[in-house]
Amino acid sequence: MADVLDQSDIDALLRSVGGDEPPPEEKAPDAMIFSRGRRDTGKVEIKDYDFKRPERISKDQMRSLQTLHDTFARNLGASLSGFLRTIVEVRVAHAEQMTYSEFIAGLPNPTSFNLIDSDVLDGQLCLEVSPLIIYPIIDRLLGGSNQELFIPQRPMTLIEQRLIRMILDRALSALSDAWDSVRKIKFRQGEMESNPQIVQIVPPNEVVVVLSFEIKMANRAGTMSLCIPFNVIEPMIEDLSAQNWFLSGRSRDEKHLTELISKGLSDARLELEAVLARTTITLSELKNLEVGDVIMTEKASSDFITVNVEGRTKFLASAGQHKGQRALRIVRPVAGGEREEA
């Protein structure tokens, strides 16, 4: 009786002889939710996650912030190029979330650390500009060539701070224009410090969004960092979603773009000249001119004077004096036909 097979032994023999069912080792393993090991670990992307510092802004909103500040970088580069009369390139290097203490720890000392205020936002932003690019800009403003410029390791003087504020005015104007598509915000300058360690706009463990920019000017380059605390932009964080962002971008009419272009053109300088009279003389008469000689013209003293703008006749004016200075009073603009006759 010891050699008699029970039913389980018979089923095992039938499976091993050649049944339709594949052997147990050839079966696909059951899917497991949790396991101590994984196959193909090289194809799995593993990232560290710090539960003390959760990502409070989604990737979609971070992309919207980066797109928004791409516009800011282009506008700032164009504004600085016209102001400094040289080509200045500004671009977004990267955007990331970190704690405020990590942001401060990565900044040099001394540097140009500037606070940004706004009546709309509940809190402050900060803009840091590296000395590697801020001193070449100052040197350019003072007429230097930046060829053998020495970058001093000291706090900035009052004169240097005044010059930096001229650059910050243009940066904040470009920043306000970039944020117009999300919300009307007027940014203004706050306090300026050289040591970022003594400035605490939020608690050290507060999450902030840091946008790093790269600035290039001739043979010089440096960085600029914009720090935006999460609690400052939290009320309008939903407006930064991709759908709302692109919808707001489409809804901007041409009137807004026309105002921006007009604002930029209004600062352009034009050459203005007034032509009192015209006459012709011979070369010998010109050669024999002396002090006290009178040149006769066919134009009466009571006739209007033509005013040219960049070489084109635009107005008619009368000559006179104003507060002891020679002056012109514009009478009327010149029409097209009159311009050709003039």
The alpha carbon torsion through 36, 37, 38, 43 (nearest 10 deg) reads 110
pLDDT over 80 at 315, yes or no: yes
- Residue with the bigger pLDDT between 41 and 273: it is 273
Alpha helices in the chain (DSSP H): 7-18, 59-84, 100-105, 131-141, 158-179, 230-233, 242-251, 254-265, 283-287, 336-341
Token pair, residue 45, equals: 């992307």
The pLDDT, as a whole number, for residue 275 is 86
The terminus-to-terminus CA distance of the chain in angstroms comes to 134
- 29: tokens are 């393993």
pLDDT at 213 over 60: yes
Total residue length of the chain: 342
Question: In whole angstroms, what is the distance from residue 185 CA to residue 173 CA?
Answer: 10
304 has pLDDT over 60: yes
Q: Where are the CATH 3.40.1550.10 domain residues in the chain?
A: 59-265
Query: For residue 320, is pLDDT > 90?
Result: no
Determine the pLDDT at residue 36: 54
Calculate the CA dihedral of residues 242, 245, 249, 250 and round it to 10 degrees. Answer: 60
Which pLDDT belongs to residue 243? 46
Give 69 or 39, the one with higher predicted confidence.
Answer: 69
Q: Of 28-32, 144-148, 316-320, which one has max mean pLDDT?
A: 316-320
Give the pLDDT band of residue 14 (cuts 50, 70, 90): confident
Report which of residues 72 and 145 the model is more confident about.
72
CA dist 116 and 66 (Å) reads: 19
Residue 267 CA to residue 259 CA, distance in Å, equals: 13
% of the chain surpassing 90 pLDDT: 17
Per-residue pLDDT tens digits for 119-149 = 888 888 999 999 999 999 998 888 887 777 8
The rounded mean pLDDT for the chain is 81
Is 80 exceeded by the pLDDT of residue 193? Answer: yes
What pLDDT sits at residue 241? 65
Predicted pLDDT of residue 169 = 92
Calculate mean pLDDT across residues 68-72.
90
340 band by pLDDT with thresholds 50, 70 and 90: very low
Average pLDDT over residues 191-196: 90
Task: Kindly report the CATH number that applies to the domain delimited by 272-341.
Answer: 2.30.330.10
Q: What is the pLDDT of residue 126?
A: 93
Which tens digits make up the pLDDT trace of 224-271?
999 999 888 888 877 776 445 554 445 455 667 788 788 778 888 888
Q: Which two tokens stand for residue 316?
A: 């008619």
Task: Confirm if 185 and 120 have CB atoms less than 8 A apart.
Answer: yes
Interval 321-332: pLDDT, tens: 888 888 888 988
CATH of domain 59-265: 3.40.1550.10
Range list for CATH 2.30.330.10 in the chain: 272-341
